[in-house]
Amino acid sequence: MSTEVETQTISRSPNILSGTPVFAGTRVPAQTIIDYVAGGHSLDEFLDDFPTVRREQALELLQQIEERLGEARL
């Protein structure tokens, strides 16, 4: 059974990195931007190191994370 999920920002397919969520149209795991920011790197550094990720995708993912954290009851 093959399931595939894709949005303009994130894609997940069992055929790409074993289903790891990646930036749509790339093989860059979404987790990578979180690791970069947590490591003190800027968005521009991330985009320079991963040129296949569009700035709009990165900003959209960060906004989605911010919204979800705002909704979370921690």
pLDDT interval class at 74 (50, 70, 90):
low
- CATH code where residue 49 lies: 1.10.10.10
Please state at what angle helix 31-38 crosses helix 55-71, rounded to 10 degrees. Answer: 80
With a cut of 70, say whether residue 1 has pLDDT above it: no
User: For 13-60, how does the pLDDT look when each residue is reduced to its tens digit (9 = 90+)?
Assistant: 999 999 999 999 999 999 999 999 999 999 999 999 999 999 999 999
Owning domain of residue 39:
5-71
* Phi/psi at 23 (5° precision): -65, 130
How many domains are there within the chain? 1
pLDDT interval class at 7 (50, 70, 90):
low
Query: What is the reported pTM?
Result: 0.82
